[in-house]
Structure 1
Amino acid sequence: MAFLPTTREEMLAQGYEQVDFVYVLGDAYVDHPSFGAAIITRTLQAFGYSCAILSQPDWHKDEEFLQFGLPRLGFLVSAGNIDSMVNHYSVNKRRRDKDYYTDDGVMGKRPDRPTIVYTQILKRLFPDVPVLVGGVEASLRRLAHYDYWDDKVRRSILMDSQADLLMFGMGENTIVEVADALASGMAVKDICYIRGTVWKTKSLDMIVDEYIMLPSYEEICKDKKTYAKSFLTQYENQDAINAKMLIEPYEGWYVVCNQPPLPLTQEQMDFTYSLPYERTFHPKYHYVPAIEEVQFSITSNRGCFGACTFCAITSHQGRVISTRSVESVVEEAKTITQMPNFKGYIHDVGGPSANFSRPACDKQTTHGACPKKQCLWPKPCSNLKVDHTHYVDMLNAVRALPGIKKVFIRSGIRYDYLMYDKDETFFDQLVKHHISGQLKVAPEHISANALDKMGKPRKELYLKFVDKYYEKNKQFGKNQYLVPYLMSSHPGCDLNSAIELACYLKKIHHTPKQVQDFYPTPGTLATCMYYTGIDPRNMKPVYVAKTYEEKLEQRALMQFSYPKNYDIVYRALKKAHREDLIGSSSKCLIPAKKPRDSFVHRKGAHKR
């Protein structure tokens, strides 16, 4: 199966005078199931709809948007696999040097906020043609949201882009329903009933379903408490079964957010990943760096009931897990083994959380996820079903295939869920077969103040996991490291919390090579805390490190042994009245005087 056409010449060569949809994309075109554009276009193709890909058009040249002519049904617009502002800017709002979703990693091939830019161009050039937006950027900005880069509350991207319809979440079923509606002759303004869509109207007369009226855009801009309450309502209405329609008023308009799409069944998941992807980037490119980590990886599940407050997966994919059959994953693995550049290593079998291979409890598939209760935090729910059996069967089956030397797990293990499993089969298999020298896990912090605002388990459980991990390495004769992902400046993390983490890092002889500062992105509970200074779950104040100095101190404390950080750490410890950590004793973080020579610190992962 060939790549979809990316130029008018390719379209004509494939026998099309006109395509049903032109997909305008902010990324380079990669036909791999880890890329949303590939899934949506291959799904449309499977249901009989033709597509062309207009990838990274020069937004200064109208002719690039005109080259395919008039599509029969409409334009589809996506910024790409990740939000464009995250892709373009670091947490310090500095322009990044590379765009890994562009040929040769070149930066600047797309504008900031391409969903808005591309759509406005298309509406000017094709005023009567439906323009439908989707992807992560649109999905997480479907209603009014705090925008870190502008430091203000922005309107729904549907309003700013002037698109005709927005599709959010994982969109295979949604796009087919929308395509069928357009193909039947229905006007796009009348497509207001499909799950996973957002639309705008000046009148609510046609709405018959139960809905929740959110505060107006003007109201949430004026008052942060109102913003926090509105966000909590949205946060509690993200489950496909329990969620109600949400309506957000604007001056003269209403933005209507329908219920989220239903999670895919196993049969639907298997179908999605059986489509004829080329599994690489279009041959017109030299090399698209984003393919490197995923080309030989397999997505086995979707959704996440972990509910970390800084993560937007719940808002985009939902809390109810969808998983593939063992047979489906094995077939994809067989396909990978036939690729000419495959060298025997499957880089990953997993998803948002690799070891979530079933819904959190039996009732979720029929009753949905609880709107006011989490599955794992602050303690595991009494209804939680901990079972790795399906995932173990999947890994064993893939590992047994001819031509496969090793199957790694790199997409993230939920160590808390792993520790709750009384059957240690998966833990044993993980240590024996699926680690590439080091296992990366995400405790994120050690301080209870920070962890509670992150929605993460307390440190005691992580410390038990560390002990057990090294016990099993010893049991199986392995010498594998453990690398903790840690975050600074998350809401709730004050200077004392940062010092507590630094003391822990000293104890385990670990210096993180890189420090991840909290990045406020649309759609997350933590971003709401960052903007408002309020935890919307209880409406109580929460500490937020916002100044450059506060963030610098928290980052430096995580790398306290670096000579370049001495003055910053010294100042932070003095500010916190922790002079007991300055000196020559074994518990001290830094010496009393700045050393003339560089410290020798242990690099990489910690080991016991």
Structure 2
Amino acid sequence: MREVQRPLTDWLPITKKEMEMRGWDEVDVVLVSGDAYVDHPAFGAAVIGRILESEGLRVGIIPQPNWQDDLRDFKKFGKPRLFFGVTGGCMDPMVNHYTANKRRRSNDAYTPGGEAGFRPDYATSVYSNILKELYPDVPIMIGGIEASLRRVTHYDYWQDKLLPSIMESSKADILVYGMGEQPLREMVRLAQKGVPLTSMKTIPQTGVMVPADEDLPKNKNWDTFELNSHEDCLQDKLKYASNFKYIEQESNKLHARRLVQQIGNQKLVINPPCYTMTEEEMDQSFDLPYTRLPHPKYKKRGDIPAFEMIKFSINMHRGCFGGCSFCTISAHQGKFIASRSEESILKEVEKVVDMPDFKGYISDLGGPSANMYKMKGKVQSICDKCSSPSCIHPVVCHNLDTSHQPMIDILQKVDANPKVKKAFVGSGIRYDMLVKGYNKLADDSVDRYMEQIITRHVSGRLKVAPEHTSDNTLHIMRKPSFKHFHDFKKKFDRINERHGMKQQLIPYFISSHPGCEEEDMANLAAETKEMGFELEQVQDFTPTPMTVATVIYYAGVHPYTMKPVFTAKSKKEKRAQHQFFFWHQRDKQRGIRHRLQELGRNDLIEKLLTPPKGKSVQHAQGSKLNQAPNSKRKKSSHHASTNAPSKNGRGRKKKTVSGNSKRHSRNK
């Protein structure tokens, strides 16, 4: 089918010429992003741009500006009337650039052709500092996942040290953390009334810096909690660790305290988060007039891999109440679920099926965890007082409504669309909520949902994330005992047998996670082998800012108990844990045998190194930790080139590479 040509003005302008095509002589706001411009609700810069547009502002976008030449990209729109908005992109640039082994990746899924080298390390700070030099009198607002997760003193794995708030390094005037629609709309409305951005110090879900000797901005509705200073954290790892408990709890409260932290002669002020977005607010964001396509300027440079993966997918909700220790979703999107209306979702389905190259297959109907749509507390007043980081660990909260009926309803309605041949659920599923032995509040809808998913919405493989088999490690991960995964697999197999299907279950696992000993990995390999799994890919734990596991990795203690926790940190320790996954590879077996003998585990030698008897082996994959908001769990490159790409003066390859790689990760 021939592609329908759309006028260039359907996209937000990315050049001065496109601005003039709209009859504008200036813009009100300029957005600077580390990603290519894809006008789609899964890409943050597009969402923010369309929201600003809906508030009556003229918006220009500078995607992936060249930071290594004469900086002409930053000057293309001139001085905006109100402010610059800066984001590093949908992924933290350091996760985007480096593997768990700190090797430079050879691709970037948010760039045309999958090319690497089109954004700097620590992009938000780099962009913001350039703008401060060029336009010192124009306020700068920073946001996105990089700014959000680095809003307070944090451990940076790539420099192996504590860094202060990104507000300090970026010199920005205000930080918006989390999903920024609500604070952004409030700030824009104040700006339209003539209030300077630099005076907006009490907007919820924002952070500002103020002189340490000045009084804090006044807000009689907020209590204030002072964290250990950045300097104290540098001197004492335990003070850094003790901060995290309060940061996580206040981030997850519906009525939170304001956080304050001294950094040198200034104080960082982190205002409480906004209340969870309503269905109407969610619809308002997703129903904006996106083209759902990359800007036409990228056509000759190749596909944008991240877009190709979500091109025909639909995000139904945000947030995750799992609270996994290694995951950043609740820190950025919140633990309370914000869901769209059925009407909004079905409207987007109509847009997808009308796309010229749609072949009848929706790649994903889901969210951060696919089966949390419309889930919330039964009694809201109980949720209003809650500070627990997880609603389902160590047990499923008695106040949580875990009915899967709303998801069954929307899946069936999408199925009924005559233009949809198949709607897949590609997002990871929280299997523990489908096991009645763990989710003791579950009604029969969990059985109907699982039947619906397996028979109608799986493309041969269902992804779930038990993450480990050791109860001690799982407890630190805030995940259920592996015995519940055994129950889930039995249920999965029964449904397949009943329907004469041969779907595969794909479990994800993590090695070298805090709390995991070498023997735990050997036991994991043996137990999964006994279950018929042969693990093809395994992800080493990657410390990312704003997670419990990262605090443990750096400080050596659990931030809630302050008790020591072992973590494999050296390459030797990590390799030792990692090798057990590859019991089926002949060249690894000698080393595995030798190490198990040293550990006195001859019983595991027999379990691991003898051929499986009478069982078909399923190829499974390792867990992927880092993911971009509004995207799904994806393959990650574990063999990225150790060499930087050839450059032409700005970190860009001289030759365009075909963009067929789908290997990238996100923050989860």
What's the TM-score bracket when you normalise by the shorter of the two chains? Answer: over 0.9
Which residue matches 1:597?
A: none
Number of residue equivalences: 595
Task: Quote the Cα distance in structure 2 between the aligned partners of 1:324 and 1:96.
Answer: 35
Aligned equivalents of 1:481, 1:359: Cα separation in 2? 27
Cα separation, 1, equivalents of 2:381 and 2:467? 30
Work out the CA distance in 1 between the residues paired with 2:19 and 2:187.
Answer: 23
Residue correspondence of structure 1 range 268-347 to structure 2 within 5 A: 268-285=281-298, 286-347=302-363
Deviations 1:346-382 (A, max 9, x none): 1111111111023442234774362146311112122
- 8 Å CA contact 2:468–2:510 kept in 1: the answer is yes
The equivalent of 2:443 in structure 1 is: 422
1:396 to 395, 412, 428: 412
1:204: which partner in 2? 215
Q: What is the Cα-based RMSD across aligned positions, in Å?
A: 1.7
Cα offset, 1:242, TM superposition: 2.8
CA contact (8 A) 1:320 1:365 kept: no
Choose which of 19, 24, 29 in structure 2 pairs with 1:21: 29
The amino acid that maps onto 1:189 is T
Find the aligned partners of 2:502 and 2:382 in 1 and give their Cα distance.
44
Find 1:539's aligned residue among 562, 568, 571: 562
1:2-401 → structure 2 map (5 Å cutoff) = 2-60=10-68, 61-202=70-211, 203-208=214-219, 209-285=222-298, 286-364=302-380, 367-368=383-384, 370-372=386-388, 374-401=390-417
Task: Say which of 490, 497, 516 aligns to 1:493.
Answer: 516
Distance in 1 (CA, whole Å) between partners of 2:602 and 2:383 is 54
Q: Contact between 2:55 and 2:188, CA under 8 Å: does it hold in 1? A: no
3-state SS, counterpart of residue 201 of structure 1: strand
Distance 1:470-1:125 versus aligned 2 partners, 3 A rule: same
- Residues 28 and 103, structure 1, Cα contact 8 Å, conserved in 2: yes
In 1, the alpha carbon distance for the partners of 2:502 and 2:346 equals: 29
Q: CA–CA distance in 1 between the matches of 2:408 and 2:391?
A: 22
Name the counterpart of 2:619.
604
- The Cα offsets for residues 493-517 of structure 1, whole Å up to 9 and x where unpaired, read as 1111111101112212322221111
Tell whether the 8 Å contact from 1:581 to 1:590 is kept in structure 2 after alignment: no
Choose between structure 1 and 2 for higher RCO, CA contacts under 8 A separated by at least 6 residues: 2
Is the Cα–Cα contact under 8 Å of residues 33 and 279 in structure 1 kept in the other structure?
A: yes
Whether the aligned pair in 2 keeps the contact of 1:441 and 1:485 (CA below 8 Å) is yes
Judge conservation of contact 2:462–2:503 (CA < 8 Å) in 1.
yes
Does the CA contact (< 8 Å) of 2:514 and 2:565 recur in 1?
yes
Q: Distance in 2 between matches of 1:38 and 1:495?
A: 45
- TM-score norm. by structure 2 comes to 0.87
Aligned to 2:541: 518
CA distance, structure 1, for counterparts of residue 132 and residue 249 of structure 2: 34
Which residue does 1:595 correspond to in 2?
A: none
* Distance (Å, rounded) in 2 between the aligned partners of 1:530 and 1:589: 32
State the Cα distance separating 1:537 from its structure 2 match: 1.5
**Equivalent position of 2:609 in the other structure:** 589
Structure 1 residues 589 and 346: alpha-carbon distance in aligned structure 2, compared to 1, 3 A threshold: same
Distance 1:240 1:231 in 2: 14
Would you say the 8 A contact 1:566–1:590 is kept in 2? no
Identity across aligned pairs (percent)? 42
Change (3 A) 1:364 1:496: farther
* Contact 2:154/2:545 (8 A) holds in 1: yes
Structure 2 counterpart SS, 1:293: helix
Map residues 404-415 of structure 1 onto 2, 5 A cutoff: 404-415=420-431
- 2:325–2:478 contact (8 Å) kept in structure 1: yes
Residue 320 of structure 1 contacts residue 368 of structure 1 at CA under 8 Å; is this kept in 2?
Answer: no
Name the TM-score, length of structure 1 as normaliser.
Answer: 0.95
The SS at the match of 1:511 is strand
- From the superposition, tell whether residues 541 and 109 of structure 1 become closer, same or farther in structure 2 (CA, over 3 Å): same
Q: Distance in 1 between matches of 2:89 and 2:275?
A: 23
For residues 467-504 of structure 1, give each alpha carbon's deviation from its aligned partner in whole angstroms, at most 9, with x where no partner exists: 00110111122110101011101001111111110111
Distance 1:575 1:278, change over 3 A: farther
1:188 corresponds to which letter in structure 2?
Answer: L
Q: Secondary structure at the match of 1:149?
A: coil
Cα distance between partner residues in 2 of 1:472 and 1:369: 40
Compared CA separation, residues 489 and 590, structure 1 to 2 (3 A): farther
Corresponding residue for 1:503? 526
Q: CA deviation at 1:460?
A: 1.1
| Cα deviations by residue, 1:216-271 (Å, 9 ceiling, x for unpaired) | 00001111111111111101111352311000001110000001122210111112
Q: Assess, with a 3 A threshold, how the Cα gap between structure 1 residues 601 and 565 changes in structure 2: closer, same or farther.
A: farther
Q: Could you tell me which runs of 5 or more consecutive residues in structure 2 were left unpaired when the two chains were aligned.
A: 1-8, 622-668
Q: CA separation of 1:364/1:170 partners in 2, compared to 1, >3 Å: closer, same or farther? A: farther
Sort the Cα spacing of 1:365 and 1:37 in 2 relative to 1 into closer, same or farther, 3 A.
farther
SS in 2 for 1:355: helix
- C-alpha distance in 2 between matches for 1:390 and 1:541: 43
CA distance in 2, matches of 1:449, 1:205: 43
SS across alignment from 2:10: coil
1:601/1:495 Cα in 2 relative to 1: closer, same or farther (>3 Å)?
farther
| CA distance, structure 2, for counterparts of residue 462 and residue 144 of structure 1 | 37
Matched, 1:570 2:581: no
